[in-house]
Amino acid sequence: MFRKTTIRAFSCVAFLATVLPGLIAPSQGHADMLKMEVDAINVPITTAGSTFTKVTFRQAYDVVPIVFTLPTVAGVDPAGLRIRNVTTTDFEIAIVEPGAEDGVHGAAMSTAYLAIEPGRLDFASGLSIEAGRHNTSRAVNGTGSGNVGNPKFGANVTAFDTMNFAGGTFGSTPAVLAEIQTMNSETGAVPTAPSSPWLTASVKTISPTNVQLALDRAEVNDGTVLAEDIGYMAITQGAGNMSDLTNSDVNVLFDALISPDNIEGWDNNSNNGSNGNGDITNFNQTFASNPLVIASLAKRDGGDGGWLARGTITPTSVNFTANEDQWSDDERGHTTEAASLMAFSSGFDTTLNTVPEPSSMAVVTLAMAGLIRRRKRK
């Protein structure tokens, strides 16, 4: 059984003056509907006998979805999250550490994931969502001691692939999530041993027409990089809510934004946060309780490379850190970076739909938004 819902509002200064008068006709890369979900997960500590944790989706997918997560600052050693074996019903996830660490991570990560089918939706409100995969072996690396000129890294250490959005131009610069979906290069006995080669998804620049993507080795000099799938999700920046038309107790608030360029490294003290907890990014709205947050770095200004880690969440803000490895040196300081983020007031699973049913047309027109359908869970 499906319950009809509509996005009541989607506000953003960047596109308020360019609200579209009607639905955008489908073109290459477009679809009428895409399944999507968000939920909280707890990734357990790693010990000598640990393996990957299986996460079952809230709904079954028609095609393999793209999954996004966000590591936290839990634990003192550098660590990230890797996913593997994504299917239409589930995926596997584990905490991994880079080389120079022991691989075992003694702190669990309470975080969230977002799953969405690949495709592009353009709503009458001006809200656009595109998700897809970019296959690449392009790898960038840090310039820490011992890495400059190393033949393992090659001559060009900062080149990125420029990937044009398949569904066309966004009305303004979108927020873009990016995460590696495969583990083709992995040779380490993860998660109980360090990941080798160390890889995270890296975004260099974002524009209304494209995003620059690469695999980031940071300062870790080990292993050989093979082609991997980088999953991406681009969404128009703004805030809104999804209100159920038949059940008033369902009201999912959401935010999509690119943070200020103020996210420093683990060793940097800022915004009265302790080392590692990071710098504050304010949401566009106030949530009733701590929202679920999924995010990734939206820039790569730091020469050492790195990845995003989440600190404290409140109903009004989230703390982020630009995390680094300790392969070439012990320091984890970092110049300021920006992050793309999405925040949701609760977990949910939906079928996003740009074609409203006649009975709901008046509501959709008044709201200037697209219809979605929410799957009722028994």
Q: What is the dihedral of CA 60, 63, 65, 66, to 10 degrees?
A: 170
Query: What's at 13, amino acid-wise?
Result: V
Supply 140's token pair.
């960038």
The mean pLDDT of 82-104, rounded to a whole number, is 96
Interatomic CA distance for residues 132 and 139, integer angstroms: 19
pLDDT above 90 covers a percentage of the chain that reads 64
Task: Report helix, strand or coil for 21.
Answer: coil
Residue 192 pLDDT class (50, 70, 90 cuts): very high
Task: Tell me whether the omega of the peptide bond preceding residue 197 falls within 30 degrees of 0, making it cis.
Answer: yes
**At residue 202, does pLDDT exceed 90?**
yes
Determine the Cα–Cα distance for residues 350 and 61; give it in Å rounded to an integer.
11
Question: What does the alpha-carbon distance between residue 196 and residue 156 come to, in Å, rounded to a whole number?
Answer: 21
Tokens found for residue 338: 């920006």
Q: Which helix (H) or strand (E) holds 367?
A: helix 361-367
Average pLDDT over residues 347-364: 59
Distance CA 8, CA 239 (A): 10
DSSP-derived pairing of the beta strands 210-216 and 139-140:
parallel
Among the ranges given (30-34, 302-306, 320-324, 356-360), the one the predictor scored with the smallest mean pLDDT = 356-360
Place of tokens 């703004």: 238
- Indicate whether 376 pLDDT > 50: no
Q: Is the pLDDT of residue 31 over 60?
A: yes
- Taking residues 142-158, report their average pLDDT: 57
- C-alpha distances in angstroms, 154 versus 139, 150, 216, 307? 9, 7, 13, 21
Mean pLDDT for the stretch of residues 329-334:
88
Poorest-confidence range of 129-143, 148-162, 168-182, 358-372?
358-372
**Residue corresponding to tokens 């992050």:** 339
Render the burial of 20-37: b for 16+ CB within 10 Å, e for the rest. Answer: beebbebeeebbebbbbb
CA distance 317 to 3: 31
The Cα–Cα gap between 65 and 201 comes to 17
In this structure, what token pair is assigned to residue 85? 């074996």
Average pLDDT over every residue of 133-157: 70
At residue 310, what are phi and psi to the nearest 5 degrees? -100, 135
Query: Confidence class of residue 247 from pLDDT cuts 50, 70 and 90?
Result: very low
SS3 assignment for 124-137 = CCCCEEEEEEEEEC
Identify the bridge partners of residue 91 per DSSP, sorted by sequence position.
Answer: 55
Structure confidence at residue 197 (pLDDT): 96
Q: 10 pLDDT exceeds 90?
A: no
- Rounded mean pLDDT, 129-155: 75
Report whether pLDDT(360) > 60: no
* Average pLDDT taken over every residue of the chain: 82
Q: Are 123 and 31 in contact (CB under 8 A)?
A: no
Residue with more model confidence, 352 or 65: 65
- Outline where DSSP puts E strands in 27-118: 33-43, 53-56, 66-68, 80-84, 90-96, 109-116
- pLDDT tops 70 at residue 207: yes
Q: Which two tokens stand for residue 129?
A: 């969502």
CA-nearest of 290, 177, 284, 296 to 238 is: 284
What are the structural domain ranges in the chain? 1-378
**How far out from the chain centre does Cα 292 lie?**
12
Please check the confidence at residue 249 and state whether its pLDDT lies above 80. Answer: no
- Condensed to tens digits (0 to 9), the pLDDT of residues 254-271 reads 999 999 999 999 988 554
Cα dihedral angle (154, 296, 68, 124), rounded to 10 degrees? -120
What is the per-residue pLDDT for 277?
A: 80
Q: Is the separation of the CB atoms in 38 and 374 below 8 Å?
A: no
C-alpha closest to that of 154 among 214, 206, 228: 214
Q: For residue 120, give the DSSP letter.
A: E
**What was the pLDDT predicted at 309?**
96
d(CA 301, CA 322) in angstroms, rounded, equals 11
User: Encoding tokens for residue 363?
Assistant: 């509501």
pLDDT band at 143 (very low <50, low <70, confident <90, very high): confident
Give the per-residue pLDDT at 246. Answer: 36
User: Which of 7-16, 46-55, 276-285 ranks highest by mean pLDDT?
Assistant: 46-55
pLDDT recorded at residue 273: 43
Q: Is the pLDDT of residue 167 over 60?
A: yes
**Arithmetic mean of pLDDT, 95-111:** 94
- The rounded distance, in Å, linking the Cα atoms of 115 and 127 is 18
Q: Residue 11 above 80 pLDDT? A: no
pLDDT band at 125 (very low <50, low <70, confident <90, very high): confident
Q: Which residue has the higher pLDDT, 50 or 275?
A: 50
d(CA 207, CA 209): 5
Tokens of 364: 């959709």
Alpha-carbon dihedral angle through residues 351, 255, 175, 37, given to the nearest 10 degrees:
-30
For residue 18, the model assigns a pLDDT of 28
